Amino acid sequence: MTSQRLLVVDDEATVRELLSAALRFAGFGVSSAATGSEAVAAAEAEPPDLVLLDVMLPDMDGFEVVRRLRELATRSRGPVPVLFLTARDRQADKVTGLSLGADDYVTKPFDLEELIARIRAILRRTSGNPADLLRAGPLTLDPAGHQVTRNGAAVRLSPTEFRLLRYLMENAGQVVSKAQILDRVWRYDFGGDASIVDTYISYLRRKVDVGEPKLIRTVHGVGYVLREPR
């Protein structure tokens, strides 16, 4: 069980209640709001560890909610992490949400298991807890210090290589597709050939998969997975 608290913001009562129940079952503390103003008031009264936020709300859109939450951050403990969870799937909306400082943007319908994995990944990134270093076999990744070591020796990575390794380690044991990697590592800054993923996987292997055990595996026709040694 976890003490981390989530705020679910959605004007559809059924979605709000089902999602809240699923997240409680996953071990989170959950509160909810049906409007943007309710969300801002709740976050100001007791800042959550993460906000799951719909874009389409009856009083103000989710983008305005994020702006107001960022204003609150100047008077409180800091910015609250935000994950947009919305039916608005236009690329322009996604760019807007991420540009405002949201940590992730997930469109409906969504896979609950993947959503929970993304929530936990954001919480690891934003907790600022040294205990939340990412580890897989001989590899250790420090998100805050932007450092990677293998068997205690420093590994120098480019910013893109670091983001790619971090994404693989956050999803260790789970196969991720090239489309998912492009979405999370390159985000909206890339619109070209997906073979760039293969290229950067190759770069990464030459730096972090030297010697045994090999951690980064290809799942042909699907994508890649980082598996810890048995």
- What is each CA distance from 198 to 88, 161, 170, 194, 217, in whole angstroms? 30, 12, 19, 8, 12
Contact residues for 36 (Cβ-Cβ < 8 A; gap 6+): 9, 57, 59, 60, 61, 62, 64, 65, 68
The predicted structure's pLDDT at residue 1? 42
The predicted structure's pLDDT at residue 226? 94
139 and 123 co-located in one domain: no
101 and 31 co-located in one domain: yes
Residue from 113, 112, 88 nearest 98 by CA: 88
Cα–Cα distance for residue pair 189/139, rounded to 1 Å: 28
The predicted structure's pLDDT at residue 193? 67
148 and 201 co-located in one domain: yes
112 and 175 co-located in one domain: no
119 and 153 co-located in one domain: no
115 and 144 co-located in one domain: no
**Secondary element (H or E) of residue 199:** helix 196-208
169 and 200 co-located in one domain: yes
- Which CATH number belongs to the domain containing residue 75 in this structure? 3.40.50.2300
Segment 217-228, tens digit of pLDDT: 999 988 999 987
Cα–Cα distance for residue pair 61/55, rounded to 1 Å: 5
Decide which of 127, 143, 174 is a domain's last residue.
127
Cα–Cα distance for residue pair 70/95, rounded to 1 Å: 17
Domain containing 216 equals 134-226
21 and 59 co-located in one domain: yes
- Which CATH number belongs to the domain containing residue 184 in this structure? 1.10.10.10
The predicted structure's pLDDT at residue 189? 52
Helices (H), 26-174: 36-45, 62-73, 91-99, 112-126, 159-170
The predicted structure's pLDDT at residue 100? 84
**Secondary element (H or E) of residue 32:** strand 29-33
Cα–Cα distance for residue pair 158/168, rounded to 1 Å: 15
Residues with pLDDT less than 50, the chain: 1, 75-76
141 and 214 co-located in one domain: yes
Decide which of 107, 127, 147 is a domain's last residue.
127
Q: What does DSSP say about strands 147-150 and 139-142: parallel, antiparallel, or unpaired?
A: antiparallel
Count: domains in the chain? 2
185 and 202 co-located in one domain: yes
121 and 222 co-located in one domain: no
The predicted structure's pLDDT at residue 76? 45
Question: How crowded is residue 149: how many other Cβ atoms within 10 Å of its Cβ?
Answer: 16
Query: Residue 164 class from Cβ within 10 Å (0-12 exposed, 13-18 middle, 19+ buried)?
Result: buried
69 and 35 co-located in one domain: yes
The amino acid that residue 121 corresponds to is A
